[in-house]
Structure 1
Amino acid sequence: MTIFTLLVTLGGVCLFFVCGASAVDPDRVSVSVMEGDAMTLYTGVEMNQDRMMWFFGDDRIAVINGDTSKICEDDQCKQRFRDRLNVNQNGSLTVTNIRTTDSGDCKLQISSSRFCIIRSFTVTVTYVSDSGSSSVVAVAVVVVVLLLLLLIAAAVYYKRQAIMKFIRRQRSDQKDDAEDSSREQTNALQKAPNGTSLNNTDVVSET
């Protein structure tokens, strides 16, 4: 079915009529953004017109009159966006640190004494999970555990080397002591037969 839009300016008020029936607005702009990023909705005009109004749903969130602009005049808007809204010189709207609760329909109404323009936007904010940061934490934990295991293995290795060195030193000392004792016994045996042989000779002579 054909859809046509009628924009009429009556006494400075923009009247908007849609004729026909359809579930899709052909002039609607879809905008997708990741949570935490900044999003800008552009007016599509080069110069600031006499009057611009931005709506989020049915709530008016910004009004631009020439060089002056007012953002979030009511408490509900202030509580929802908390200084996250900005408008530039041509009236484009920027939302910083966007949240999933900012998803929805936005509308821009541009009006002057000669014409009236209405632009519609559908904003979709994609939730960003914490899986990325969780993966980084998991990798960091694994690295720390591996480093601890390496330190423990190195400590065990050097401890074992020290024990083996101590055992070898003890065995070497025991061997040296045994050799010294053996030499002393050999020397003693070498000296003992001289006295014994003399005594035996004397005994034989007397006999």
Structure 2
Amino acid sequence: MFSCCYVASLLLGAFLLYCRRKIYDEYNDEVVELKKKETKLISRLLEGKAPDADFDPYAPYVDWFKWDGSKHPLSNAPEPKRRFTRSQSEDKMVVRYCRAIRKGLIKFDEPKEEPSVYLLWGDESNSNEKSGHLAYIPAPKPKLPGHEESYNPSKEYIPTQEEINAYQLMFEEDRPKFIPKRVEFEAGTLKLGQGNLRRGGTEAKPSKVAFNRSNQTLGACCNS
């Protein structure tokens, strides 16, 4: 025979299960007992599933429209006028902006008037406004020295005596600025420390060359 505690526990469990299926209907003012089908439907809704158990959410798509031989879109109606006109809310916003501009609440940046003339030879170092013209023109770079200006150039770069005499008949601006020369070393003298730049001699006009170099350095410092 079952004990009284065991029977009481079974009755209590059955009573609780019976109470779970009862809800209070406020509209009809009565207690309704839910059926098993209805409880399953509620549990499926709570789990985020479809109410019907036979519903397939991943069923293949069925295209009900027949596309064979279709030449025109589904809707060939003309564009409505409301797509080209402002709505009421947009009209109110435009009026609000116009009133704010008239009252001075909204201000726009005025375009700066650029001067049509500028100081060609004047000093603009103190002026805050930068002009649109080119402020710095670099000096022309001299030609880099080639093989003919070497202290011991090859024979093909050395002019003959006839060519040197022909230079004297030319105008001064057409004459070459530099005539290359070759330092001839005696046979057997090319020893350590002898066949070097000290044998080549100095420039023809060293003072003039130094003066021109100093002018070029001074001009570069002024331009920078």
- TM-score interval (norm. to shorter): under 0.3
Query: Highest Rg: 1 or 2?
Result: 2
Normalising to structure 2: TM-score of the pair? Answer: 0.17
- The structure with more helix, counted as a fraction of residues: 1
